[in-house]
Amino acid sequence: MEWLCGAYRLSLANGPLVMAIVNATPDSFSDGYPDVGRACARAERLIADGADILDVGGESTRPGAPSVSESEEIRRVVPVIERLAALWSVPISIDTQKVAVAEAAIQAGASIINGVSASLDVGAMKHLLQRYPVGYVAMHMRARPAVMQQHADYADVVAEVGDALAAVRAELDAAAVDPTRVLYDPGIGFGKKLDHNLALMRAAPTLYARLQRPLLMGISRKSWLRDLYHRDLDKSAASLQWRDTITAMASMLMPFPAVAVHRVHEAALLRDALVLQQAMADPAS
């Protein structure tokens, strides 16, 4: 199984891939690297730690976050993507809700659109996907980040998220977007409460079977950790390390190939966890 992303053909056959986050924002909930030099230094470390993909974002999507203008988001991400593309032959993803930002990022060197609002915006984004052969992550988001937690009400979260993502797949299929270019993300933490998040994590095989494509799972450092462990989260080194450790543990429990890409803030712990996951699944590894 492969994921076609522009010039890259990413194999999904030999174990999950690691997508590492490079936040080109001043207001992320846990980190941020708003200048090119610091962003590139972080990217270099993430690659050394085993990242397969770099995911650049210029707008915080934490619960309650206000929207950023297209021009400001482009100003933040394009110089970072241009520099990363010049330095390393690693697929670069743009994390965005906006078509104009995605197109500017592709022209700067991105080969994947991490469409965090696909369930809201695929009708607009599909036209960009028809023009550029980039990879696409179609994520579920019921409402924009500023108000999304006000819409965290589901009778059956697995069925409803599955319905929304199946509708995205149908629209992409109708637009003749090659399905091997697309992965799906249930949107952990995006307009969901703890029980919703846990249900979706458990249901990865169900969603994989329904969508007939692997999932990308983004659980790193999110509020489900606070809610499950009843522990305050802050930006201290100890808090971030604890969150990264639990993230790696949870990621190891998610079955491959249903979950084929993990989006995380730190690559090293996750890479080690995935080695153990593979060894436990395959005695010959």
Nearest to 129 by CA among 86, 174, 91, 162: 174
pLDDT tens string 125-145: 999 999 999 999 999 998 777
Integer angstrom CA distances of residue 96 from 4, 116, 275: 19, 6, 30
Q: How many domains does the chain have?
A: 1
90 located within any domain: yes
For position 114, what pLDDT does the model report?
97
The answer on pLDDT for 1 being more than 80 is yes
144 located within any domain: yes
Q: Burial of 13 by CB count in 10 Å (0-12 exposed, 13-18 middle, 19+ buried)?
A: exposed
Question: Which segments of 116-274 are extended strands (E)?
Answer: 135-139, 182-185, 215-217, 259-264
Per the model's pLDDT, the better-predicted residue between 149 and 128 turns out to be: 128
74 located within any domain: yes
Residue 13 CA to chain centroid, in angstroms?
19
For position 233, what pLDDT does the model report?
85
Hey, how many other C-beta atoms are within 10 angstroms of the C-beta on 140?
A: 27
283 located within any domain: no
pLDDT tens string 216-269: 999 999 989 999 999 988 889 899 999 999 999 999 999 999 999 999 999 999
Which CATH number covers residue 227?
3.20.20.20
What does the block give as tokens for 272? 């080690």
Q: How many residues does the chain have?
A: 285
The answer on pLDDT for 158 being more than 80 is yes
Q: Which residue range is the domain that position 28 belongs to?
A: 2-278
Query: Which of 57-61, 189-193, 200-204 is the least confident region?
Result: 57-61
Residues 6+ apart with CB under 8 A from 282: none
45 located within any domain: yes
For residues 150-159, one letter each, b for 16 or more C-beta atoms within 10 angstroms of the residue's C-beta and e for the rest, the string is eebebeebbe
53 located within any domain: yes
